[in-house]
Structure 1
Amino acid sequence: MRSKPSGHRGARSRRAQRIPVVRAVALAAIAAVALVACGGSGDGKGGDNPSKGATATKTASSEITVKPDSGSGPTAPGGKVTVHADRGKLTEVKVTAAETDAFAGSLSKDSATWTSSARLAPGTQYTVIAKGVAPDGKQLSKRITITTAAARDTFVGEYSPDKGTTVGVGMPVSITFNKPIRDKAAVERGLTVTTTPAVQGAWSWIKDRNGKDRIDYRPQTFWKPGTQVTLRMSLSGVDAGGGVLGTQQRVVHFKIGKSVVSTVDVVKKTMTVKENGKTVRTLPVSTGKKGFETWNGTMVVLSKVPTIRMDSRTVGIFGPEAYDLGAVKWAVQLTPSGTYAHAAPWNEGKFGRVNGSHGCIGMSTQDAKWFFGRVGLGDPVTVVHSTDTVAVNNGYGDWNVDWTTWQAGSALK
């Protein structure tokens, strides 16, 4: 689906007019006789006029051309935009569409040709604005509209975190797709993550809890606080397989905030909270009792709400162990399967002494309120000395996979 940049047009060819030597001599002789017969003698009264009969030299003008050109109707999606300054240089190119971030592109060494890095999405109207300069300094400009034909089927990815957010050091970049991704390599090639300062990271494909295709990106270890992260989703026009085309062109900037890392020891029944490597508090807690053990491994804060209803039926607990708690305070969600850190005043007396929950991390109302105020989206909470490790797709369990295995999950390995 790549379209090759158009090359330079050559200057307009001229057919050289050559007259055989003999014929040229004959014509010269005839011309001389004609001059005598006319009585001219080169005195300016009837002599040659060099402006008559001479062939004028036409200077080729500079112009900007854009491909594809959908002036005759919708163009096929999936191609790239190429802008060329014929006998000139480009100074600015913009390719935009509604609800689409501007296309990035690369300029040729001679600044004459610009090629978009993204492809054209189906069923979209793009505006291309190009500016340039001719060799004589004349300003060049071009504005056209490209309309693409609709596709039989399309896909999009729901990404996290959102633009402009500040997240914790454990927050991966995560994209879940609404359609099966058969050509994972093609889609992954349309995704890039860049950081300041630079850090090594990798994409890995997984299935979410609903069986949807999902791809996450993380570094080898937790992010460094203050890191600026940019996700670029150049999925417009990308074929995910079977003609299912992408429609998204997104640039997502977010920032890594301070390091807030919590460790829950189910044997000691404590939660130690560290900020930027220093312990700020160790809280007594009560974790999951036998048969309902809290997940082992690293989980990441997904959300938090000051009050929530907790109904055991939503997590498959019925019978004697069933519960329906209508107003649980200071709830910090760690997994979509129902793991929270929250206030549990009904377990007062067990904190630091007995594990008596159904898998959540319970603490006093005062301690829960304090913890609620210290953590945010993307902060990691690691449980040690428990039993089963949280699954990679149960929230952001990405950190429970060793680095070699994680890298092997890329479709571009």
Structure 2
Amino acid sequence: MKNTRSRNQRRAVHVVALTSAAALLVAGCSSAGATGSGTEGAGKPAKETAKSGGPSSIAIDTKTSGKITVIADGGALTSVDVSAPGPGKVGGTLSEDKSVWTSTTPLAPGATYTISARGTGGDGAPLSKSTSYTTPAAAKTFVGTYNADKGSTVGVALPVSITFNKPIHDKAAVERKLKVTSSPAIEGAWSWLKDRDGKDRIDYRPKEYWKPGTSVTLRMDLAGVDAGGGVYGTQQRVVNFRIGDAVTSTVDVVKKTMTVSRNGKVLRTLKVSTGKETFETWNGTMVVLSKVPSIRMNSATVGIFGPEAYDLGDVKWDVQLTPSGTYAHAAPWNEGKFGRVNASHGCIGMSTSDAKWFYDQVRFGDPVTVVNSKDTVAVNNGYGAWNVDWETWKKGSALS
């Protein structure tokens, strides 16, 4: 509750008494440039220092933005633990005389932190204090949507991808707070791009495909990060996932075949029909985005009208390769053309039985590479990162 004994103490919060004459103070500073809890005396630091045998105090100090400060007044700190809203702890530094601890981890706006501190008074008596502090909400925040689910198993070609709901003006500040680690370790890099809907997006890919069995961890320490223009991050995330078998597929539009391999061993070579003239299937490497057993395919959704228009219901065993509408699927209406004629509007068609078999082999993140076609798939048309050479990819980092 608010202490109203004096004008200078209006922002102090009364807490439990200490048995030592030295007081342990915990000061929380406002995040995102806003004031701390309460509205009186905004911008005026306030501390309530205990007299001998009196109570300790917790003060909300709005003079410095974005920090938590723990003070052992007349004593020394032995430990400070500040839990974050997400996984992990808030880091901090201790002054040379061990009387002041200051947080170094940015604080998320509108988040509650639990603070526990221990120390010793000048007379050697133990000090302890626990409290919670809720940062003011920021007027503008951003979040990133990431593509790998926690605990999932994905394909060897999946980049770690994060798409943001607000423009990221300070890309370097955001990128510094993103980290991907793996076991075994690999060489990898972040690169910024615009998603197809114009949103800012950053992808992380290894130099080569992930090795099967690799454990990957994405860390997003975006809480309190200013993306520019006063838009603050709120997320603390740790996402662990695993890389599955190396299921790779190569489509040759000249031979009209798709060769599917698992961990380097060819499983089958299927007869296919790819895009006909002026509707050629994208060249380059695409990555499996999703699978559905049945879908309606309407050409109007991909901008095809007139004599080439189509509206096909109940298309079976659909493996999506690009958000622009490229699928590998069953195409029984082209029976007799597989392995002989390219007759689709850009998709990879095959018999119903072959399509079902392919559907069962692949998972999210598996690569499908098309050769001998035209117009390489764009980097942002799904996960086209593999169509950029490594040196060019690294230059897309804001920290390069």
Band of TM-score, shorter chain:
0.7 to 0.9
Find the partner of 1:245 among 227, 232, 250. 232
Find the partner of 1:233 among 206, 214, 220. 220
C-alpha distance in 2 between matches for 1:350 and 1:133: 83
Q: Does 1:411 align with 2:385?
A: no
The answer for the alignment partner of 2:91 in structure 1 is 105
> Which TM-score applies when normalising by structure 2?
0.80
Q: 1:247 Cα shift?
A: 1.1
State the one-letter code of the partner of 1:105: G
Q: Does 1:89 align with 2:78?
A: yes
Q: 1:195 Cα shift?
A: 1.2
C-alpha distance in 2 between matches for 1:77 and 1:294: 57
Q: 1:108 Cα shift?
A: 6.6
State the one-letter code of the partner of 1:96: A
State the one-letter code of the partner of 2:303: G
Q: Does 1:176 align with 2:185?
A: no
8 Å Cα contact 2:27/2:61 also seen in 1? no
C-alpha distance in 1 between matches for 2:124 and 2:241: 41
C-alpha distance in 2 between matches for 1:195 and 1:110: 37
Give the direction of change, closer, same or farther, for the CA distance of 1:284–1:68 in structure 2 (3 Å limit): same
C-alpha distance in 1 between matches for 2:64 and 2:351: 58
1:150-176 per-residue CA deviation (whole Å, 9 max, x = no partner) reads 222111111111211111110111111
- In the TM superposition, what are the counterparts of 1:295-334 in structure 2 within 5 Å? 295-334=282-321
Q: 1:120 Cα shift?
A: 0.8
Greater helix proportion: 1
- In the TM superposition, what are the counterparts of 1:237-386 in structure 2 within 5 Å? 237-386=224-373
Q: 1:196 Cα shift?
A: 1.2
8 Å Cα contact 2:20/2:123 also seen in 1? no
State the one-letter code of the partner of 1:168: G
C-alpha distance in 1 between matches for 2:324 and 2:168: 25
Identity %: 67
C-alpha distance in 2 between matches for 1:212 and 1:304: 24
Give the direction of change, closer, same or farther, for the CA distance of 1:341–1:140 in structure 2 (3 Å limit): farther
The answer for the alignment partner of 1:391 in structure 2 is 378
Indicate the larger mover: 74-83 or 150-159.
74-83
Q: 1:101 Cα shift?
A: 3.0
Q: Does 1:68 align with 2:28?
A: yes
C-alpha distance in 2 between matches for 1:186 and 1:348: 54
Q: Does 1:145 align with 2:105?
A: no
SS of residue in 2 equivalent to 1:187 = helix
SS of residue in 1 equivalent to 2:254 = coil
Unaligned runs of 5+ in 1: 1-58
Q: 1:253 Cα shift?
A: 1.0
1:127-148 per-residue CA deviation (whole Å, 9 max, x = no partner) reads 2234678999987643221121
8 Å Cα contact 2:257/2:269 also seen in 1? yes
Give the direction of change, closer, same or farther, for the CA distance of 1:369–1:109 in structure 2 (3 Å limit): farther
SS of residue in 2 equivalent to 1:258 = coil
Q: 1:317 Cα shift?
A: 0.4
C-alpha distance in 2 between matches for 1:101 and 1:261: 35
Unaligned runs of 5+ in 2: 1-18, 30-35, 37-57
State the one-letter code of the partner of 2:318: A
> Which TM-score applies when normalising by structure 1?
0.78
The answer for the alignment partner of 2:148 in structure 1 is 161
Give the direction of change, closer, same or farther, for the CA distance of 1:66–1:78 in structure 2 (3 Å limit): same
Aligned length: 352
Q: 1:216 Cα shift?
A: 0.5
SS of residue in 1 equivalent to 2:282 = coil
8 Å Cα contact 1:105/1:114 also seen in 2? no
Give the direction of change, closer, same or farther, for the CA distance of 1:101–1:280 in structure 2 (3 Å limit): same
Q: Does 1:206 align with 2:193?
A: yes
The answer for the alignment partner of 1:23 in structure 2 is none
Q: 1:125 Cα shift?
A: 2.1
1:329-360 per-residue CA deviation (whole Å, 9 max, x = no partner) reads 11000000000001111111111111110000
* Cα RMSD (Å): 2.9
8 Å Cα contact 1:63/1:87 also seen in 2? no
C-alpha distance in 2 between matches for 1:217 and 1:171: 9
- In the TM superposition, what are the counterparts of 1:2-21 in structure 2 within 5 Å? none
C-alpha distance in 2 between matches for 1:206 and 1:152: 26
C-alpha distance in 2 between matches for 1:306 and 1:76: 59
8 Å Cα contact 1:77/1:121 also seen in 2? no
Q: Flag the structure with larger Rg.
A: 1
Give the direction of change, closer, same or farther, for the CA distance of 1:299–1:109 in structure 2 (3 Å limit): farther
SS of residue in 1 equivalent to 2:151 = coil
C-alpha distance in 2 between matches for 1:409 and 1:236: 24
State the one-letter code of the partner of 1:89: T
Give the direction of change, closer, same or farther, for the CA distance of 1:131–1:74 in structure 2 (3 Å limit): closer
SS of residue in 2 equivalent to 1:296 = strand
Q: 1:78 Cα shift?
A: 6.3
The answer for the alignment partner of 2:15 in structure 1 is none
8 Å Cα contact 2:20/2:127 also seen in 1? no
8 Å Cα contact 2:379/2:388 also seen in 1? yes
C-alpha distance in 2 between matches for 1:106 and 1:397: 40
SS of residue in 2 equivalent to 1:186 = helix
Q: 1:122 Cα shift?
A: 1.4
8 Å Cα contact 1:62/1:88 also seen in 2? no
